[in-house]
Amino acid sequence: MNLIEESFQNREEKKKKRTTKIIVGAMILVLIFIIGIIAYLMYIKSTTLKLTIDGQANEKLKELFLFDEDGTIYAPIKEIASYFGYESFNGDYSEKSEQQSKCYVQNENEVANLELGQTKIYKLDLTQKDADYEYVYIKNPIKAYQGVLYVSTEGLEKAFNISFHYDQSKNTITIFTLPYLYKYYANRILDYGFKELSSEFVNQKAIFNDQLVVLKENNQYGVVDINGKTILESKYSNITYLVNTGDFLVENNKKVGILSANKETKVRIKYDSIELMDSDVGLYVVKSEDKYGVIDIRGNIIIDLENDEIGIDVTRFSRNNIKNKYLLAEQLIPVRKDQYWAFYDKNGNQVTDFKYDHFGYIASNNREAINLLIIPNYEVVVACKDKKYTLLNLNGSELFAAIADDIYMTISGGEKHYYIMVNDQRIDAEDWLDSNGIRAKSNTTTQNKNTNTTSNNSSNKTKEE
């Protein structure tokens, strides 16, 4: 081989080596690129919000949530209701309207009322005849975003009876509905040696407090925790979970009392009936031997058991939107003894004499008149004495002598108006109250400052870590 051929061969070998290096380098780059894509896709997958409801993934539901800049998660009330088995409507359940600053959700068991700017959710148990409204509080007020009402996840739990858990490290939301949890624990308690789980709707809610109201083979009720450990022994003829306090109304020998989850006797088992008056002040209406009184959560007597009736049939005043028949304007307790009515305050002080025929006006001849109990913005109550009417303030004082023939409400164009009729003369009640120095409650709420739910970046429906 001559020098020319050898030089040519060396150049070819070097060229092949360079080509090989280029190919190998390109393959390595392609491999790195592919690995990078796979890693990126895995990263995207790991940082994309995942949501399950009752163990099933739900892509549509997760798109409804908004993440506020402070970390609070919100959801549109009406849009999310159907996912939990509820219908949704504008307005208030007890006073139908299309008012968009209010809405309510409803299923076969319960109604929940929510209002813009409020941290109080009113709930009505539809499974109980003549049930009264109860209420729960939430930390963050109801907000509006682009004209839609939103509630925090705490509000979701309380309004819709769900369990909600967000794991920020895994970016996952886990939701369980009450029917799912009830079915799950109904099977588990069989392993604990009990006949069945109480099917009462209010008792089902004890699940959210890790407590189960159970029935044994001897048809006696008890309470266990979710692991089967005894909380209250199975020796009661009935047990009802008290959602607002977490206590239990227990019954034996047709008498009832209240026990706590740590077995403390709060109210002795000696009354014919016990009904919650108001959870904020911790008062109960009790009945014994056909007489009524009021006690506090420790069983102390607030109003003696010597009355024939406590509370008013507020269903007769449905357009007045009254949610508590025992506590009017959150201050006055209506009490009847023999044939006359009086008011007490929440401390058990009698603020009027027993001299009123009844409280509230029932419309009769006037076709446009609507039954009226309270003029809400002024917190005054209609009272009847000797077949004539007057108005009482929260101190029980009469604002004028009982001379009115009628005190009623009308509704025109969705607006409520209140009138006093005296000797065929119609007087605008609110104008009269204003002119006599009785001030209306401020209608200004925190709604304006809570109108925007989120910061500018809250329109992102899912959170990317």
Per-residue pLDDT tens over the stretch 2-44: 555 555 566 666 666 667 767 767 777 777 766 666 554 444 4
Summarize the confidence of residues 68-86 as an average pLDDT: 95
Instruction: Tell me how far apart the alpha carbons of residues 14 and 245 are, in angstroms, rounded to a whole number.
Output: 87
Give me Rg for the CA atoms of the chain: 32
Nearest to 186 by CA among 173, 174, 200: 200
**Does position 465 have pLDDT exceeding 50, yes or no?**
no
**Does position 461 have pLDDT exceeding 60, yes or no?**
no
Nearest to 131 by CA among 308, 314, 269, 376: 314
Task: Write down the pLDDT at residue 227.
Answer: 94
Task: Write down the pLDDT at residue 448.
Answer: 36
- pLDDT, tens digit (0-9, with 9 covering 90-100), for 105-148: 999 999 999 999 999 999 999 999 888 899 999 999 999 999 99
Contact 66, 136 (CB under 8 A): no
Instruction: Tell me how far apart the alpha carbons of residues 208 and 187 are, in angstroms, rounded to a whole number.
Output: 17
Instruction: Tell me how far apart the alpha carbons of residues 195 and 179 are, in angstroms, rounded to a whole number.
Output: 19
Q: Name which residue leads in pLDDT, 2 or 272.
A: 272
Instruction: Tell me how far apart the alpha carbons of residues 97 and 368 are, in angstroms, rounded to a whole number.
Output: 19
**Does position 278 have pLDDT exceeding 80, yes or no?**
yes
Nearest to 88 by CA among 74, 108, 106: 106
The identity of residue 283, as a single letter, is L
**Low-confidence winner among 297-306, 383-392, 408-417 (lowest mean pLDDT):** 408-417
Instruction: Tell me how far apart the alpha carbons of residues 92 and 216 are, in angstroms, rounded to a whole number.
Output: 41
**Does position 198 have pLDDT exceeding 60, yes or no?**
yes
- pLDDT, tens digit (0-9, with 9 covering 90-100), for 140-177: 999 999 999 999 999 999 999 999 999 999 999 999 99
**Does position 186 have pLDDT exceeding 50, yes or no?**
yes
Give every CB contact of residue 154 below 8 A, 6+ residues apart in sequence. Answer: 138, 139, 140
What pTM, to 2 d.p., does this model score?
0.81
Give every CB contact of residue 280 below 8 A, 6+ residues apart in sequence. Answer: none
